[in-house]
Amino acid sequence: MKKAAVEHTTQAKPHYFPRLAEERVDIALCRAAAAMARAADAHAAGQEVGVGQHLVLKMLDAVGPSAQQALAEELRIDRSVMVGIVDSLQKGGLVRRDRDPVDRRAYAVTITAAGTRVLTDAERDIPDFLDRSFAALTAAERRQLTTLLGKLLAK
């Protein structure tokens, strides 16, 4: 009888995390973000650019030349990590650094034509990736999640 009790207590409790997630939305959000980051990294492994590089190219394409500091702040990427991202993009000919016309001490990062082509290629697969990653949610739930995350990130 004791052996059965020990076996029962050492078995995994598969239904604990959903209960924890209901109690601690912060933990659920962290775990969901980590799972999405792993999925995005795995998806990006088959692309020409990584997740961070993709985000930088996407922002530069949308808003135009930007300082590295502005890229880091807006994309919420550590400044030291941003240096490596921009260095690798520049080395690949996907961005260039030019003196900032407003502040000659700073540099503006600009997407190149090659960067635009790589971004276009990378963006082509994103809808399918998102559909697979969020298959558990309906389209309405995805829109609601997007709205709620936008509110959290607007701070």
- Hey, is 34 helix, strand or coil? helix
Tell me if 119 sits within 8 A of 60, measured CB to CB.
Answer: no
Which residue has better confidence, 7 or 130? 130
For residue 95, which of 123, 124, 56 has the smallest C-alpha distance? 56
What percentage of the chain has pLDDT greater than the value 90? Answer: 63
Q: Greatest CA separation found in the chain? A: 79
**Per-residue pLDDT tens digits for 80-130:** 999 999 999 999 999 999 988 777 888 899 999 999 999 999 999 899 999
Pick the CATH number of 49-122 from 3.30.70.20, 3.40.190.10, 1.10.10.10, 3.40.1360.10: 1.10.10.10
